Structure 1
Amino acid sequence: MRLDKWLWAARFFKTRQLATDAINGGKVHVNGQRVKPGKEISVGARLEISKDSLLWDVTVTALNKQRRPALEAGLLYEEHAESKTRRDDEVARRRAESSLHTQPDRRPDKKGRRAIHRFKREAVGE
């Protein structure tokens, strides 16, 4: 089965084109080697997938040409334990960082926008 089709069927990417772009961009490696989208993969192949600065290290356990529901797509691969813990730690770190940033209650009104523009002009030195 083609690698790009498998990545699409396993729901790593929303479309085959996104999967192809990721493979061509060097974000997907098969058994430690950079490959092309048409690479034939089989059960037992080890994939390293980098997406949104997260890294999956999985082994192909099944092949399916059709895109099935997420629960069935999860049966197509087995993620390695260290990969899962590393990814969970990264997600937890991102959530902790995002909780530190406070969002304003509302958008600035006309007076607030003028104050922002005035502040920016003074910072530049106009």
Structure 2
Amino acid sequence: MDAWLWRTRFFKTRALATAVVSKGRVRINGERVKKASRLIRPGDILTFPQGNAIRVIRMLAPAERRGSAPEAQTHYEPVPDDPDD
């Protein structure tokens, strides 16, 4: 999971992605995760801090490499806020 977060450019370094996951700050489908090696699948909802914001995204596809920002954006989509809130 840390590699995917890095490859899709949510974190500047893979070490930073690993640290955020290891501290339990990432959730997959609402479940807190502490292992950076956890597998994620297309359709999974990831929630994690990025800067001062909380990102909620749906994984669309695995990322084989760290490409350009436009390429990275093809691997996920933002999950809209709940309109009932």
Question: Normalising by structure 1, what TM-score?
Answer: 0.61
Note if contact 1:49-1:56 (Cα within 8 Å) is conserved in structure 2: yes
Matched, 1:17 2:31: no
Q: CA deviation at 1:26?
A: 2.0
Superposed counterparts of 1:82-121, under 5 Å: 82=81
Q: CA deviation at 1:34?
A: 1.5
State how far apart, in whole Å, the 1-side matches of 2:64 and 2:7 are. Answer: 7
Which of 1 and 2 has higher RCO (CA within 8 Å, sep 6+)?
2
Larger strand fraction of residues: 2
Q: How many residues align?
A: 81
Q: Once superposed, which parts of structure 1, at least 4 consecutive aligned residues long, lie more than 6 Å away?
A: none
**Aligned position for 1:39:** 38
% identical aligned pairs: 37
Which has more radius of gyration? 1
**Aligned position for 1:27:** 25
- Structure 1: any 5+ residue segments left out of the alignment? 84-126
Deviation per CA, 1:71-120, whole angstroms, max 9, x where unpaired? Answer: 0101110101228xxxxxxxxxxxxxxxxxxxxxxxxxxxxxxxxxxxxx
Note if contact 1:27-1:50 (Cα within 8 Å) is conserved in structure 2: yes
What secondary structure, in the 3-state scheme, does the structure 2 residue paired with 1:50 have?
strand
CA RMSD of aligned residues (A): 1.3
Larger helix fraction of residues: 1
What secondary structure, in the 3-state scheme, does the structure 2 residue paired with 1:81 have?
coil
Matched, 1:78 2:41: no
**Aligned position for 1:58:** 57
State how far apart, in whole Å, the 2-side matches of 1:26 and 1:50 are. Answer: 11
What secondary structure, in the 3-state scheme, does the structure 1 residue paired with 2:58 have?
strand
- Structure 2: any 5+ residue segments left out of the alignment? none
Question: Normalising by structure 2, what TM-score?
Answer: 0.88
